[in-house]
Amino acid sequence: MRLLFLGDVVGRSGRDGVIAALPGLRRTLALDLVVVNAENASHGFGLTPEIARALFAAGADVLTLGNHAWDRREIIPYIEGEARLLRPLNYPSGTPGRGAGVFTVGQRKVLVANVMGRLFMDALDCPFQATRALLAGHALGRTVDAAIIDIHAEASSEKQSYAASFDGAVSLIVGTHTHVPSADARIMPGGTAYQTDAGMCGDYDSVIGMQKGNAALRFWKKVPGERLAPAEGDAAVCGVFIETDDATGLARRVEALRQGGGLAPTMPAG
């Protein structure tokens, strides 16, 4: 299978970039499934139902969230009825929505899950324990044909420890949240593809997607300032492409994707 994960969509710039690029990417890369992290898609904070629908219409099959999952309260009733929208799996029991789903692609099935780290983040349930419980019911290459996990976390050490723990059990583990693409896309010894952070889809002439002035001022003066606002220049679209083995579901190939927005481009071969 040919799968694409796109990193955090930030504001209008990121939305417009993804919506413009995704139909062409689906054709050029002959993609079977696309997962997009959309937790910053609405003005940089949260997601609305209208934006979710627009991303689905552009070609996203599954949307994931993170620590800004509930910044737009109107997403709460929407997520209850939309199985393609995932919030972190390790939220406490009773939280609206779901943290994982199995999605059918023709005759094949793909498990997609979203977890959130705890180091420098909100105090949630353990993502390691939650993932172990999830994977107890899903065997890669037997009950599902591929599996993607978005780990939304601050610390690279936590992301790498998580990846080491589940190497061989899923097709791709990819980090989100830091909004900067890491240069470590690789297939680990057990056959799982990994990248510490997919990077964001947004304007990189910014501070992690936000306008530079107020963001930088917070480091100069430790006093409350104006609310951060997304940068509105041309967006780079960043993500990770993988191709899986049909028999095992493990990764045969992984490549970073970057296009537009002034970053050095890299595009997987078709």
Catalytic residue numbers? 68
Residue 101 phi, psi dihedral angles, 5° rounding? -160, 155
Residue 228 makes CB contacts below 8 A (sequence gap 6+) with: 44, 210, 211, 214, 215
Q: Bridge partners of 140? A: 144
Distance in angstroms (rounded) separating the CA atoms of residues 145 and 244:
9
Cβ atoms of residues 88 and 99 within 8 Å: yes
Cβ atoms of residues 112 and 171 within 8 Å: no
Q: What is the dihedral of CA 110, 259, 234, 229, to 10 degrees?
A: 50
Find tokens 């696309």 and name the residue. 34
CA 5 from chain centre, in angstroms, equals 6
Extended beta strands in 209-269, E state: 237-244, 251-259
Burial group, residue 42, by CB count within 10 angstroms (0-12, 13-18, 19+): buried
- Which of these, 150, 162, 149, lies nearest to 119 by C-alpha position? 162
Dig out the tokens for 141 from the structure.
């290459």
